[in-house]
Structure 1
Amino acid sequence: MKTRAAVVEGPGQPFRLVDLDIDDPRADEILVRIKAVGLCHTDLTIKEMLPAEMFPRVFGHEGAGVVEAVGPDVEGVGVGDHVVMSFRSCRECARCESGEVGYCDQTMALNYMGYRMDGSTTFHRDGADVAGSFFGQSSFSELAIGSADNVVVIDPTVDLAVAAPFACGFQTGAGAVLNTIDPRPASSIVVYGAGAVGLAAIAAAGARGVETIVAVDTQNSRLEHAEGLGAVGVNPADLPDGEFVDRIRELTGGGATAGVDTTAVPKVITQAVQALAPRGTLVVVGLGAPEIELDAIDLMQNGKIVRGCIEGDSDPLTMIPELLDMLAAGTLPLDTLITTYRFDQINEAVEDVAAGTVVKPVLVF
């Protein structure tokens, strides 16, 4: 079969729309005609990080569409179903069986390497392999192949352009609050970085009735979105040197109960830990710098916790429907953050999100 896909030819290269061949779905696979796909920071970060030998490649991991074909071994998904495509997990290792599917033993192979587990690719061009299977889907393509563990059936009345970002970005931010922090109403949460992930975290904190929510960002336009979701906005650039941590402590009554870092900026993470109350927790969800500097004495004496979080500690098969129910009920109003682009405007969407003129780009077919 033929499909139109956005291919990246090498590290740091732009997306280029080309025609590819895509395999028929195997017995355990699902073919989805993509109607909308979110553009996520992870797509842009990893296309810069991977070595040249892992290209050409198709990215995209927030796909939403309609099932076109289903392999005979697949249960629970049928032709015509409306679906969201999320990350893959083996569903067989000890972590998966305990519900920790984001920490699956096979995460790297299933989501990042560009191949099926047997080493084959789903995409081809002129007889040569093109890496795909990004998050088990590579949905920057009119057609994408997924599996029962990452294809989530949703209510067909939900706008697929709205549903797509719940596959990763919105699920990560909201899940970090709802699953990982699990806050009490009388607590305080500070979210560092008010992009799509951070704003989803803020909205989830609001849905839980958290008393004090603070948003930190250097772009005032994003802080306006955060304030619309019930947060107090803080722009560090507006504060004198050395006063940022004191300002956070002031707003949170002596220190934050919890924080969520989406920036992956070492200095921001260091300050976020400093701004925690004793026994406070910072959840790190951003992909970026591999090293940070922390005060071990502060951590020990104040019982602070710094922990990572993948995909909001969520199981997408249950979490995505729950979040979409919250959206429908009006308690998680994230649809207002979405700006749609035609699929052939993908590079324009990349430029706009980098410039901060949009929060969450979604490409529509």
Structure 2
Amino acid sequence: MKVKAAVVNEVNGPYEFEELDLQEIQHDEVIVKVVASGICHSDEALRVGDAEYPLPVVLGHEGAGIIEKTGASVKGFEVGDQVVMAYNSCGSCPNCRTGHPSSCVEWTILNMSGARSDGSPIFKKTDGTPVSSFFAQSSFATHTVTNVHNLIKVAPDADLRLVGPLGCGFLTGAGTVVNGLKPNVGESIVIFGTGAVGLGALMTAKIEGCGKIIAVDIHDSRLEIAKELGATHTINSKTEDLAARIAEITAGAGANYSIDTTGVSAVMKASLDVLGIQGVAAPVAVTPNSIELNTFMDLVLLNKTIKGVLMGDSIPQLAIPKLIEFHKQGQFAFDKLVQFYNFDDINQASADSNSGKTIKPILIIDETYRAGEPLLK
């Protein structure tokens, strides 16, 4: 099957459209006609080489589409189903069986190796050259092959042009709050970076009843959006004294929790420094940067914790329907953060995301698609 895909052929190279051969599905896979896909910072990190990855590659891991073919052992999904695609997991290891599929023992192989677990590719160039896949979905293509464990079925009237980013960015932000940090009602949280992940975390912190929700960024326009979505306080760390403002807001106690979505070394360290006694920091950005700390002074003395939370420690099949329901109730207004682009404009969409002009770009890959609701502007 011939498909149109946006291919990254070299580190820091542009997305280049090519006709690829989509390989035949295996017994536990499906073919999805991709309707739309969000662009995530993780796509950019791989494109520019912040994380090493086998090239050429078809990126994209916030896809939504319609099933066109199912493998022999696929159950619970049929041709014509509308689906969101998230990450893959084995489904049978102890971590998967206890509700932590993002801690799957095969997670890296299944999502980050560039191929199926048996080493076979999903795409090939017309000359037979294998093309790597990403997150076992590669949604920057008109059609893709994905595993049944990637799939989340959504209602027939759900607008697939909108819901794809729930598969990664918003899932990560929301899950980091609910599953990673687990704040009690009234506790305080500081969120560094007001992109899709940060604002997803912010909206969820409001839903969870956090008392002080502090958004930190260097762009006033982003901080205004944060206020609209539930921030009780905002700090422009470029023009304000971060430590002094946090001390003022928390009456000197420091914050209970923090999330860093920037991956900037100084900001990651600041997310630890603003915590009070027994505070917990979650650095969730894909970044090549690191921080230097003194384990006694920075952690032990005040019983602080740095906690890794991959993909929000979420079960996508349970979390994404909840986020859709919160959206319907007006509590998770992620539609205010998106900008739609034609698939052919992927390089412009990526540039707008990098510059901060667009919080969450969504590529419309199937322009003929119509849902029960009109496309949100």
Q: The TM-score by the shorter chain falls in which range?
A: over 0.9
Rounded to whole Å, the distance in 1 between the matches of 2:131 and 2:267 is 35
State the alpha-carbon separation in 2 of the partners of residues 323 and 66 from structure 1: 20
Residue 236 of structure 1 aligns with an amino acid whose one-letter code is: S
1:31 pairs with 2:34: no
Preserved CA contact (<8 Å) 2:46 2:52: no
Per-residue Cα deviation, 1:88-139 (whole angstroms, up to 9, x for no partner): 1111212111211101111111111111111111111123233233101111
State the partner residue of 1:49.
49
Partners of 1:52 and 1:276 lie apart in 2 by: 33
Unaligned 5+ segments in structure 2 are 366-377
Structure 1 position 338, deviation (Å): 0.7
Which shifted more, 295-304 or 4-13? 295-304
Q: State the distance in 1 between where 2:270 and 2:122 align.
A: 44
**Given the alignment of the two structures, is residue 255 of structure 1 paired with residue 257 of structure 2, yes or no?**
no
SS at match of 2:238: helix
The residue identity in structure 2 corresponding to 1:16 is E
Q: How much has 1:211 moved relative to structure 2? A: 1.3
Task: Report the counterpart of residue 128 of structure 2 in structure 1.
Answer: 128
Q: In the alignment, what sits opposite 1:86? A: 86
Q: Look up the SS of the partner of 1:294 in the other structure.
A: coil
The offset of 1:48, in angstroms, is 2.0
Distance 1:2 1:216, change over 3 A: same
TM-score by length of 1: 0.96
Deviations 1:63-95 (A, max 9, x none): 100101101110111100000000111112121
Alignment of 1:286-305 (within 5 A): 286-296=285-295, 297-305=297-305
- Other-structure match for 2:226: 226
Question: Contact (CA 8 Å) 1:191, 1:261: kept in 2 or not?
Answer: yes
Partner of 1:206: 206
What code does the residue aligned with 2:124 have?
Answer: H
Q: Does 1:316 align with 2:309?
A: no
Deviations 1:21-40 (CA, angstroms, capped at 9, x unpaired): 10132221111000010000
2:300 counterpart SS class: helix
- Please identify, of 152-161 and 194-203, the stretch whose mean Cα deviation from structure 2 is larger: 152-161
Is the contact made by 1:22 and 1:123 (CA closer than 8 Å) also made in structure 2? yes
Counterpart contact for 1:246–1:275, Cα < 8 Å: no
Q: Give SS of 2:102's match.
A: helix
Residue 4 of structure 1 corresponds to 4
Show the counterpart of 2:171.
171
Q: Does 1:268 align with 2:267?
A: yes
Q: Secondary structure at the match of 2:194?
A: coil
Match of 2:371?
none
Q: CA deviation at 1:255?
A: 0.7
- CA deviation profile, 1:255-312 (whole Å, cap 9, x unmatched): 1110111111111111111110101111111111342122322311211111111000
Give per-residue Cα distances to partners, 1:196-216, cap 9 Å, x unaligned.
Answer: 100000010111221110111
SS at 1:238's partner residue? coil
**Match of 1:152, SS?**
strand
Code of the residue aligned with 2:250 in structure 1: it is T
Instruction: Report Cα offsets for 1:1-27 as digits up to 9, x if no partner.
Output: 010000011111010111111013222
TM-score normalized with structure 2 length: 0.93
Letter in 2 for 1:270: K
- Given that 2:339 and 2:362 are in contact with CA atoms closer than 8 Å, whether structure 1 keeps it comes out as yes
Residues 236-255 of structure 1: pairs in structure 2 closer than 5 A: 236-239=237-240, 243-253=241-251, 254-255=253-254
Are residues 1:347 and 2:347 paired?
Answer: yes
The 8 Å contact of residues 57 and 133 in structure 2, kept in 1 or not, is answered as no
Q: Deviations over 1:172-199 (max 9, x none)?
A: 0011111111222211110001111000
Report 1:73-152 matches (<5 A): 73-152=73-152
Classify 1:4/1:95 alpha carbon distance in 2 versus 1 (closer, same or farther; 3 Å).
same
- What is the CA distance between 1:50 and its match in structure 2? 7.1
Determine if contact 2:192/2:215 at 8 Å carries over to the other structure: yes
AA matched with 1:219: H
Q: Tell me the secondary structure at the aligned position of residue 348 of structure 1.
A: helix
Could you say what the CA RMSD is over the residues aligned between the two structures, in angstroms?
A: 1.4
Contact 1:279 1:303 (8 Å CA) reproduced = yes
- Is the Cα–Cα contact under 8 Å of residues 61 and 134 in structure 2 kept in the other structure? yes
Structure 1: gaps (5+ residues):
none
SS in 2 for 1:311: helix
Residue 279 (structure 1) aligns with: 278
Where 2:74 maps in the other structure, the secondary structure is coil
* Paired residue type of 1:258: Y
